[in-house]
Chain A
């Protein structure tokens, strides 16, 4: 992909700006049309497109915004990946998922967090369980991952469907998901999570956008 030669401080400034804006506009609740619109707006935005276009043509700039920061945005909110420190707010992390899936007494197995779908292993004594989680819309991927895991493991895998504020799952959908999970031999839990200020945030959080300064990496 072009634009990879973006100087590091500029790249960082762009990431902070884009993530900040995405946070302000509740990116996860925009329709596809609204997201497309926003990509166009970012190109017009002097603070984003105005900077990016100095390093490549518009087409590449648009692709960069879409494929680099925004592709990682949801993962960053989960606390996963290398873009976590740009997310203004995020969820607490996999510990919360493990608690919801297995209750107390289980802890997350070190370095076991992975993605596609988001998953980890939880351990209690000798036992190890596979847990995957995601939004209801990604249930198909979750069930497939759990099913594959169930075949290889003696412990029952768990699926956690997460909702956030502004998000709800209908009773009919839940009933369906419950039956599917039962059939596949997986435990299914629902977890409503609050998004909290990101403890690893890199930008300035004094509430004033205009004072946003790029923080240089060491």
Chain B
């Protein structure tokens, strides 16, 4: 018979110090300690007046010998028993659910990582003393026993409460990095992001070296903004709130057992607690696009575990072995930019010990993903091809509504009538996060999206009166002018300095009133609007206005096509008369002229008239968000438009795919197949693309043109292009219509296929071709 024997597996006390070798970045170490305080605040549920945590890191001028890190909270404080547990590795009062502190190791890992000595000072309201426990890792390791001395110091005021963790004898590398002001700024920003929900919604105060950690707030479109797809209104923000069945959480292993289980179904222990479970939050559309700054945040007990996560944008066939496939963003050309963001709370899902991810192989996590993105692919056609049901999840809705990035209200993308203003939108987001007053709502972005659809351009010639070329409105009897020609509100002087009409003499219009009248009859030119700062000339905050139907006059009543006015420094208004002959007849660029006026204002103000005017204009121009006339920008625009043309052609081609396929040369077919192989992701076979007409999306631009030329009746008359064709009976007229379309398309094709060296005039021509094609595209929703 063998007697039972035991081997003592108590770890050596050195383990405490070794925990500090675990890879945790600075902010993560601090976050572990903040988590403990924030957990306590949430558990106290409103009994603490203003839940606050103050962190102090050693200043740049400190010395390592005396430097320390402090994390001080005004929570309820701890009893001797509680503080003993709090600092014992592997012990946690929270169990594995319901709070941020995990496994009871976060405290030991983070304090050991930063320094060799940790003091915890704590007391509850009403207790007579402060309890001060010191964990000296070197001493504990040498003593071969886990022993931490504590002492009691009497409180001056019994009402005081809270806990302070002080880490000293900082490790050399940690100290060297932490005391840098730049590191502290980075940590402050990171914490502002990770805790944004608790700081903004729960009013927790977090300071780092006496400066407030500001929550990084989402910059999303208002919930009321919508787009319409196939008759369905899609809101820019989708709320998610799914109450799950109540389950038994195992405090030992974290497994969720059924509500009636008596023992954990995973580990067999009986430390079960019945808990509510819920997945809630929102996903929405950011007001700007970015290469990396988008994606979903997943939170546990108010802290972000995963930030800007893009997992939900991949489709994974649950039964397949293929790699997850990216579904968003895939529509934005060479440089993929995205803007779907969100905040999903899933307190019941187990994170990894570093709190940087969740346990992805759990039923709980999969359920979260399902709630957000559903199980089918987001792309409806791919889903259909695979025989999967249509995806109606919140993410699929946003995908349907906002996956594309065409400027205008149709996709909620700011634009200037020609191009999207992506960079400007990002700049505005920066101002929003800095607290800029007018950027707090989405109004500025919305105005710019609206302006794209209603672009600022030179007023077209009055149409009705143009009976003979060259004899336009000027032929009209002057007596008629006041009735239908004069601008509303234009009382008093008219531009030409004519006397006001006889009869009542209207009171003279003040300068303020005049400017207001201009504004009332104007649209803002968003791409010029914004702050400008020039080294020698100072700053202006410019608002540019495209005025219609008003004759502009300067302060001294001199008529001018563009005027500037500074009513309140540094705010400058520039007004441009879009109907002025300078623009309407001579084709001058109204944006350039506006900047000339601004430049002149600035150099006169600074009294440096020796500075060349054109140089100032050039500098101003480089500050605007107006699109550049560079080969790259023009090529990108051409590609984008051709992509739109191809997409729009899929439907008409699919009616008779074989006819169009036969028009392709051998080389073009090979080209198309290659492009398909690279871009389509291999979910459906090439043969299907040929028989469904999808192939048109991959054919070279030259072939697109030939196919349109071959059967214009298939693509014109509002099908792909607006221009009318069928109604024309004369073959010559028909040919002309097609030619007027093919010529600009040819320019786009040239740029997409060859990337030739182009001079400015050629680039201008291609840019105009782009505008002509964009104007002629039928609605593509």
Question: In the complex, which residues of chain B have a beta carbon less than 8 angstroms from the beta carbon of A99?
Answer: 157
Rounded to whole angstroms, the CA-CA distance of A172 and B166 in the bound complex is 12
For the complex formed, measure the closest distance between the CB of A194 and the CB atoms of chain B, giving whole angstroms: 6
Contact of A166 among B52, B434, B569 (CB under 8 A): B52
A53 touches B (CB below 8 Å): yes
Contact status B54-A168, CB under 8 Å: yes
Contact status A37-B70, CB under 8 Å: no
For A165-185 the 0/1 string (1 means CB < 8 A from B) is 111101110010000000000
B210 touches A (CB below 8 Å): yes
A71 touches B (CB below 8 Å): no
Question: In the complex, which residues of chain A have a beta carbon less than 8 angstroms from the beta carbon of B210?
Answer: 29, 166-167
Contact status B212-A30, CB under 8 Å: yes
Contact of A168 among B62, B70, B157 (CB under 8 A): B70
Contact status A165-B50, CB under 8 Å: yes
For the complex formed, measure the closest distance between the CB of A20 and the CB atoms of chain B, giving whole angstroms: 15
For the complex formed, measure the closest distance between the CB of A131 and the CB atoms of chain B, giving whole angstroms: 14
Rounded to whole angstroms, the CA-CA distance of A25 and B438 in the bound complex is 18
Stretch in A38-46, A112-120, A139-147 touching the partner: A38-46
Query: When A58-B569, A165-B205, A170-B56 are in contact, do A196 and B49 touch as well, CB less than 8 Å?
Result: yes
Contact status A26-B205, CB under 8 Å: yes
Nearest CB in chain B to that of A192: its residue: B160
A51 touches B (CB below 8 Å): no
Rounded to whole angstroms, the CA-CA distance of A191 and B707 in the bound complex is 83
Rounded to whole angstroms, the CA-CA distance of A64 and B309 in the bound complex is 47
Contact status B156-A166, CB under 8 Å: no
Contact status A171-B168, CB under 8 Å: yes
For A114-156 the 0/1 string (1 means CB < 8 A from B) is 0000000000000000000000000000000000000000000
Question: In the complex, which residues of chain B have a beta carbon less than 8 angstroms from the beta carbon of A172?
Answer: 62, 66-68
A100, A170, A192: most-surrounded residue (chain B CB, <10 A): A170
Question: In the complex, which residues of chain A have a beta carbon less than 8 angstroms from the beta carbon of B162?
Answer: 192
Rounded to whole angstroms, the CA-CA distance of A63 and B661 in the bound complex is 74
Q: Which of B72-130 contact A (CB under 8 A)?
A: 72, 74
Contact status B437-A41, CB under 8 Å: yes
Question: In the complex, which residues of chain A have a beta carbon less than 8 angstroms from the beta carbon of B50?
Answer: 165, 195
Contact status A166-B70, CB under 8 Å: no
Contact of B156 among A58, A175, A189, A194 (CB under 8 A): A189
Question: In the complex, which residues of chain B have a beta carbon less than 8 angstroms from the beta carbon of A100?
Answer: 156-157
Query: When A26-B212, A29-B207, A53-B568 are in contact, do A165 and B434 touch as well, CB less than 8 Å?
Result: no
Rounded to whole angstroms, the CA-CA distance of A130 and B568 in the bound complex is 50
Contact of B437 among A31, A44, A165, A191 (CB under 8 A): A44
B489 touches A (CB below 8 Å): no
For chains A and B in complex, what number of residue pairs have CB atoms within 8 angstroms? 71
Q: Which of B222-280 contact A (CB under 8 A)?
A: none
Contact of A45 among B53, B66, B206, B437 (CB under 8 A): B437
Question: In the complex, which residues of chain B have a beta carbon less than 8 angstroms from the beta carbon of A168?
Answer: 54-56, 70, 72, 164
B674 touches A (CB below 8 Å): no
B436 touches A (CB below 8 Å): yes
Rounded to whole angstroms, the CA-CA distance of A191 and B159 in the bound complex is 12
For the complex formed, measure the closest distance between the CB of B291 and the CB atoms of chain A, giving whole angstroms: 28
Rounded to whole angstroms, the CA-CA distance of A195 and B206 in the bound complex is 16
B211 touches A (CB below 8 Å): yes
Question: In the complex, which residues of chain A have a beta carbon less than 8 angstroms from the beta carbon of B62?
Answer: 172
A38, A45, A172: most-surrounded residue (chain B CB, <10 A): A172
Rounded to whole angstroms, the CA-CA distance of A194 and B125 in the bound complex is 13
B496 touches A (CB below 8 Å): no
For the complex formed, measure the closest distance between the CB of A86 and the CB atoms of chain B, giving whole angstroms: 19
B681 touches A (CB below 8 Å): no
Nearest CB in chain B to that of A176: its residue: B66
Contact status A171-B54, CB under 8 Å: no
A100, A166, A170, A194: most-surrounded residue (chain B CB, <10 A): A166
Rounded to whole angstroms, the CA-CA distance of A208 and B131 in the bound complex is 41
Question: In the complex, which residues of chain A have a beta carbon less than 8 angstroms from the beta carbon of B70?
Answer: 168, 170
Contact status A165-B74, CB under 8 Å: yes
Q: What is the size category of the interface that chain B forms with chain A?
A: 35 or more
For the complex formed, measure the closest distance between the CB of B434 and the CB atoms of chain A, giving whole angstroms: 6
Contact status A38-B435, CB under 8 Å: yes
Rounded to whole angstroms, the CA-CA distance of A99 and B52 in the bound complex is 24
Q: Which of B32-75 contact A (CB under 8 A)?
A: 49-50, 52-56, 58, 62, 66-68, 70, 72, 74
Contact status A58-B568, CB under 8 Å: yes
Rounded to whole angstroms, the CA-CA distance of A100 and B52 in the bound complex is 22
Rounded to whole angstroms, the CA-CA distance of A31 and B52 in the bound complex is 18
Contact status A166-B212, CB under 8 Å: yes
For the complex formed, measure the closest distance between the CB of B636 and the CB atoms of chain A, giving whole angstroms: 35
Question: In the complex, which residues of chain B have a beta carbon less than 8 angstroms from the beta carbon of A29?
Answer: 205, 207, 210-212
For the complex formed, measure the closest distance between the CB of B179 and the CB atoms of chain A, giving whole angstroms: 12
Nearest CB in chain A to that of B71: its residue: A168
For the complex formed, measure the closest distance between the CB of B181 and the CB atoms of chain A, giving whole angstroms: 11
For the complex formed, measure the closest distance between the CB of B533 and the CB atoms of chain A, giving whole angstroms: 14
Contact status B211-A171, CB under 8 Å: no
Contact of A41 among B55, B156, B206, B435 (CB under 8 A): B435
Contact status B68-A171, CB under 8 Å: yes
Contact status B66-A171, CB under 8 Å: yes
Nearest CB in chain A to that of B185: its residue: A31
Rounded to whole angstroms, the CA-CA distance of A189 and B239 in the bound complex is 52
For the complex formed, measure the closest distance between the CB of A118 and the CB atoms of chain B, giving whole angstroms: 19
Nearest CB in chain A to that of B205: its residue: A166
Nearest CB in chain B to that of A169: its residue: B56
Rounded to whole angstroms, the CA-CA distance of A53 and B157 in the bound complex is 48
Nearest CB in chain A to that of B119: its residue: A171
Question: In the complex, which residues of chain A have a beta carbon less than 8 angstroms from the beta carbon of B156?
Answer: 100, 189, 191
Nearest CB in chain B to that of A53: its residue: B568
Contact status B437-A37, CB under 8 Å: no
Q: Which of A1-44 contact B (CB under 8 A)?
A: 26, 29-31, 34, 37-38, 41, 44
Question: In the complex, which residues of chain B have a beta carbon less than 8 angstroms from the beta carbon of A34?
Answer: 211
Rounded to whole angstroms, the CA-CA distance of A170 and B164 in the bound complex is 11
For the complex formed, measure the closest distance between the CB of B165 and the CB atoms of chain A, giving whole angstroms: 11
Question: In the complex, which residues of chain A have a beta carbon less than 8 angstroms from the beta carbon of B160?
Answer: 192
11 pairs, CB–CB < 8 Å, chain A vs chain B: A26-B212, A29-B205, A29-B210, A31-B211, A45-B437, A165-B52, A165-B205, A166-B52, A170-B58, A191-B156, A195-B50
18 extra A-B contacts, CB within 8 A, seeds A29-B210, A41-B437: A26-B205, A30-B212, A37-B434, A41-B435, A41-B436, A53-B568, A58-B569, A99-B157, A165-B74, A165-B205, A166-B52, A167-B210, A170-B56, A170-B58, A171-B66, A172-B62, A175-B66, A195-B50
- What are the 7 closest A-B residue pairs judged by CB atoms, nearest first? A165-B52, A29-B212, A172-B66, A166-B207, A44-B437, A168-B54, A166-B52
